[in-house]
């Protein structure tokens, strides 16, 4: 992207965003990319970068683990790996192994399902393969502590075995010497030490001539001398020689390993690049979460359709200070390419302008932007900005001269892919003359189909925007009652500068304000007053509209609650009806099952009984119940004459009477709360609560 002037990124505070992004980076590659964050104009690159950030953001928000834990700078080691005859140490090989292992974890993480779920992130490893031989070759030589293994070569194994034996022999010999000297009272408190890699004994200086050996030095106080006993000199020499041989063999093995793995130097460099790329994507995702970055719809044309767009840095600052941030909603398209924002000073005009510009830069550098996901953002190839006083003392340019110089550059280079921002267009000169030049500049930029935002206090520019194709008005809302800016952009109408209202707020004497009003042209004053009244009326309408929407939402809520209550009541009634129907059905089923059982019993009785007439009576009693009440009453009287009720517990063998039909039988079996009662030839299952114990009365003799 072409930027004008050179300080454009600084004016839009893009450098601060780069610093924030860099603070989230862990690898050297990611920090370098963040510090040199570029703004691109190719849709394919921008779309891929945005999608990668969006996918990593979803991974972080879902608390998933992405296995990219390698952060060490291995550029120097990998360059060394590609140099013939170079040697990489064991500790360095451990780091290279961790890099290779990190890459293996990444490849394992991207299984078939995840490659489909995160296609943009999978693009990073698209043209790279994982080589497991690297770890295998390192593990053959290097152990977990970074030391060369004993079995790395037969010679090394032989040397270390000899070294182990000689050290043990030296230790035993040294212990004997120390014991002998200690017994003679020659040794100092520390007994032994090392000097130049050789084992020495510490003796009092007054006895040093009594100890045969090589004097290696004395302590600072000269009270202790360090002597290598003559008994251990040969052994020390042997150990020293073996250690030298070990070092040479280790270096040979490491040099050989470096040569064998040098063919993988380019591949390992790609592994390091992959680690840095994923770290950079992770940093962008963490920054997006901090500033509520979203993925808008991206189009390959000059277009701006922002919904609830926030200034990223202002949003972060207000979040820390627990303050609200007012979003911006606007559209710049073919019909409305240039927005002229008017309104009072300190009302948010410049912040609105910077919000649009900074978000556009973030998008084209592959960062998610704090806007609604429903927003649509295009791609611009040029971005011009002119904010604040640009007086140039070096070239003896006044503020207005510098202003015109910038406008000249704007006009010469502007085209349909240009996004520009001009703060206080025409300021720094006579209002009438400056306003005229401002009109000409805006007309020319509109003729070249450039897109941009202009802030102004000039009434002629507000009027011009209403009747010039491609230019629209916008205003920052102002609370005239409380004399406070509201920092909210309203597109479609111009705004007042509230000059006299602000003068009254700061306490300027009223007679000076009245005098100033008389000096202003009547038409000019009427227009400004009309803008004031219009803006206040629109604010009132906006409040009423919000209240109406609130009432409508409340009405919808109550309607939904009523529907829920009615649905619950209908459901309850339906459940009760079904319960009643089920209860009737259950009673009928019980009746039918009982009838079926009794009929089966009658069939059995018919086959077994010789008294067929009794069975027929039972069948008639079962099938024909129209005179049941009469029969029961007669039977009750008959049974009461023959049997007497007893207040006793029912046991097997008890004579019992059925409470419902006054039949008498004998209890044959008790099963829980039911009993099997033998009535004639027919056994029946009866609830214990329906039975009462009776005894037969003696029959009175007839006279």
- 36-52, pLDDT tens digit by residue? 999 999 999 999 999 99
**DSSP H or E run through 161:** helix 154-184
The stretch 603-629 carries a mean pLDDT of: 68
The predicted pLDDT at position 53 comes to 97
For the sheet with 336-342, list strands across it: 2-4, 382-386, 418-422, 451-455, 336-342, 470-479, 484-491
The predicted pLDDT at position 395 comes to 38
Both structure tokens of 415: 């085209």
Both structure tokens of 288: 């997006």
- The Cα 645–Cα 657 span in angstroms is 8
- The Cα 338–Cα 442 span in angstroms is 8
- The Cα 116–Cα 112 span in angstroms is 7
Q: Considering the chain, what is the average pLDDT of its residues?
A: 83
Residue 275 has pLDDT above 60, yes or no: yes
- The Cα 26–Cα 71 span in angstroms is 6
- The Cα 97–Cα 110 span in angstroms is 20
Select the highest-mean-pLDDT range: 39-53, 392-406, 631-645.
39-53
Q: Which of 285-294, 599-608, 644-653 has the lowest mean pLDDT?
A: 599-608
Beta carbons of 390 and 315 less than 8 angstroms apart? no
Does 636 or 78 have the greater pLDDT score?
78
Query: C-alpha distances in angstroms, 441 versus 398, 436, 469?
Result: 19, 9, 14
Q: Which of 140-154, 185-199, 632-646 has the lowest mean pLDDT?
A: 185-199
Establish how many alpha carbons lie within 13 A of residue 274's alpha carbon, considering only the half-sphere containing its beta carbon.
Answer: 28
CA-only gyration radius of the chain, Å: 50
- The Cα 369–Cα 377 span in angstroms is 10
* Phi, psi angle pair for 217, to nearest 5°: 155, 180
Can you give the pTM of this predicted structure? 0.69
The predicted pLDDT at position 485 comes to 66
**Residue-by-residue DSSP string for 79-126:** HHHTSTT----HHHHHHHHHHHHHHHHHHHHS-HHHHHHSHHHHGGGT
Query: C-alpha distances in angstroms, 640 versus 195, 458, 597, 657?
Result: 125, 118, 29, 10
- The Cα 695–Cα 690 span in angstroms is 17
Query: C-alpha distances in angstroms, 683 versus 329, 341, 665, 689?
Result: 89, 102, 9, 17
The predicted pLDDT at position 608 comes to 76
> How would residue 562 be classed by pLDDT, with cut points 50, 70 and 90?
confident
The predicted pLDDT at position 414 comes to 93
Q: Are strands 484-491 and 470-479 parallel, antiparallel or unpaired?
A: antiparallel
- The Cα 495–Cα 497 span in angstroms is 7
**DSSP H or E run through 200:** strand 198-204
The stretch 93-121 carries a mean pLDDT of: 95
Residue 200 has pLDDT above 50, yes or no: yes
The predicted pLDDT at position 497 comes to 53
Residue 484 has pLDDT above 70, yes or no: no
The predicted pLDDT at position 312 comes to 95
The predicted pLDDT at position 393 comes to 38
Residue 501 has pLDDT above 70, yes or no: no
> How would residue 563 be classed by pLDDT, with cut points 50, 70 and 90?
confident
The predicted pLDDT at position 507 comes to 67
Q: 10 Å Cβ neighbour count for 228?
A: 21
Residue 392 has pLDDT above 90, yes or no: no
- The Cα 311–Cα 17 span in angstroms is 11
The stretch 563-583 carries a mean pLDDT of: 76
Q: Please, which contacts does 482-490 make with residues 24 or more away whose CB atoms are closer than 8 Å?
A: 485/343, 485/344, 485/346, 485/347, 485/348, 486/326, 486/347, 487/326, 487/347, 487/348, 487/351, 488/326, 488/348, 489/328, 489/329, 489/330, 489/341, 489/348, 489/352, 490/535, 490/538
The predicted pLDDT at position 303 comes to 92
**DSSP H or E run through 355:** helix 349-364
Q: Are strands 418-422 and 187-195 parallel, antiparallel or unpaired?
A: unpaired
Residue 143 has pLDDT above 90, yes or no: yes
Both structure tokens of 558: 């109550």
**DSSP classification of residue 454:** E
- Using a pLDDT cut of 90, give the percent of the chain over it: 43
> How would residue 63 be classed by pLDDT, with cut points 50, 70 and 90?
very high
Both structure tokens of 240: 């020293």
Residue 628 has pLDDT above 80, yes or no: no
The stretch 397-420 carries a mean pLDDT of: 83
Our measurement of the distance from residue 88's CA atom to the centroid of its chain's CA atoms, rounded to an integer in Å, reads 40
Residue 158 has pLDDT above 50, yes or no: yes
**Residue-by-residue DSSP string for 162-178:** HHHHHHHHHHHHHHHHH
Beta carbons of 1 and 39 less than 8 angstroms apart? yes
The stretch 367-387 carries a mean pLDDT of: 95
Does 265 or 197 have the greater pLDDT score?
265
Q: 10 Å Cβ neighbour count for 133?
A: 11
The predicted pLDDT at position 627 comes to 46
Which residue reads 């010999």 in tokens?
Answer: 173
């Amino acid at each position: 992207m072409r930027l004008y002037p050179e300080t454009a990124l600084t004016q839009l505070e893009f450098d601060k965003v780069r610093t924030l992004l860099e603070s989230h980076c862990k690898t050297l590659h990611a920090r370098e990319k963040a510090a040199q964050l570029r703004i691109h104009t190719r849709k394919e690159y921008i779309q891929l970068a945005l999608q990668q950030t969006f996918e990593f953001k979803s991974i972080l928000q879902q608390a998933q683990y992405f296995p990219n834990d390698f952060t060490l700078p291995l550029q120097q080691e990998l360059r060394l790996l590609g140099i013939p005859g170079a040697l990489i140490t064991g500790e360095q090989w451990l780091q290279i192994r961790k890099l290779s292992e990190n890459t293996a974890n990444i490849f394992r993480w991207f299984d078939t399902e995840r490659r489909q779920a995160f296609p943009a992130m999978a693009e990073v490893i698209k043209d790279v393969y994982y080589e497991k031989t690297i770890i295998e070759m390192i593990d053959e030589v290097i152990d977990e502590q970074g030391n060369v293994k004993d079995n790395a070569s037969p010679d090394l194994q032989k040397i270390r075995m000899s070294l182990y034996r000689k050290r043990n022999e030296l230790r035993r010999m040294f212990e004997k010497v120390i014991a002998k000297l200690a017994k003679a009272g020659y040794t100092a408190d520390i007994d032994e030490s090392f000097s130049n890699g050789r084992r020495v004994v510490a003796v009092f200086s007054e006895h040093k001539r009594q100890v045969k050996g090589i004097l290696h030095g004395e302590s600072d106080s000269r009270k202790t001398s360090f002597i290598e006993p003559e008994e251990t000199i040969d052994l020390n020499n042997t150990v020293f020689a073996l250690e030298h041989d070990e070092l040479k063999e280790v270096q040979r093995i490491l040099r050989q390993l470096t040569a064998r793995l040098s063919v993988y130097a380019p591949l390992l460099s790609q592994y390091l690049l992959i680690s840095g790329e994923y770290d950079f994507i992770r940093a962008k995702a963490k920054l997006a979460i901090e500033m509520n970055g979203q993925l808008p719809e991206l189009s390959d044309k000059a277009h701006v359709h922002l919904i609830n767009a926030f200034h990223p840095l202002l949003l972060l600052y207000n979040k820390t200070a627990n303050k609200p941030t007012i979003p911006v909603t606007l559209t710049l398209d073919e019909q409305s390419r240039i927005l002229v924002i008017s309104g009072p000073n300190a009302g948010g005009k410049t912040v609105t302008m910077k919000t649009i510009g900074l978000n556009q830069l973030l998008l084209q550098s592959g960062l998610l932007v704090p806007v609604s996901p429903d927003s649509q953002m295009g791609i611009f190839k040029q971005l011009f900005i002119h904010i604040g006083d640009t007086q140039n003392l070096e070239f003896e340019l006044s503020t207005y001269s510098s202003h015109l110089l910038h406008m000249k550059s704007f006009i010469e280079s502007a085209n349909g892919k240009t996004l520009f921002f001009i703060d206080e267009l025409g300021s720094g000169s006579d209002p009438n003359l400056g306003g005229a030049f401002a009109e000409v500049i805006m007309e020319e930029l509109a003729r070249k189909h450039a897109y941009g935002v202009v802030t102004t206090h000039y009434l002629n520019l507000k009027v011009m925007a209403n009747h010039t194709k491609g230019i629209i008005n916008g205003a920052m809302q102002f609370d005239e009652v409380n004399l406070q800016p509201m920092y909210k952009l309203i597109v479609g109408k111009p705004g007042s500068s509230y000059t006299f209202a602000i003068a009254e707020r700061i306490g300027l004497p009223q007679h000076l304000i009245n005098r100033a009003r008389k000096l202003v042209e009547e038409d000019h004053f009427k227009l400004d007053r009309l803008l004031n009244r219009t803006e206040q009326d629109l604010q009132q309408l906006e409040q009423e509209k919000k209240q109406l929407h609130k009432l409508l939402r409340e009405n919808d809520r109550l309607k939904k609650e009523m529907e829920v209550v009615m649905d619950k009541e209908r459901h309850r009634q339906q459940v009760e009806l079904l319960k009643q129907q089920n209860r009737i059905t259950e009673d009928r089923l019980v009746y039918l099952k009982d009838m079926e059982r009794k009929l089966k019993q009658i069939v059995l009785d018919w086959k077994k009984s010789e008294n067929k007439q009794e069975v027929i009576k039972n069948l008639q009693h079962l099938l024909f119940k129209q005179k049941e009440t009469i029969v029961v009453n007669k039977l009750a009287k008959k049974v009461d004459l023959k049997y007497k009720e007893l207040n006793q517990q029912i046991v097997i063998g008890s004579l019992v009477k059925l409470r419902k039909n006054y039949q008498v039988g004998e209890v044959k079996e008790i099963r829980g709360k039911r009993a099997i009662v033998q009535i004639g030839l027919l056994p029946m299952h009866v609830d214990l609560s329906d039975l009462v114990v009776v005894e037969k009365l003696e029959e009175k003799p007839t006279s």
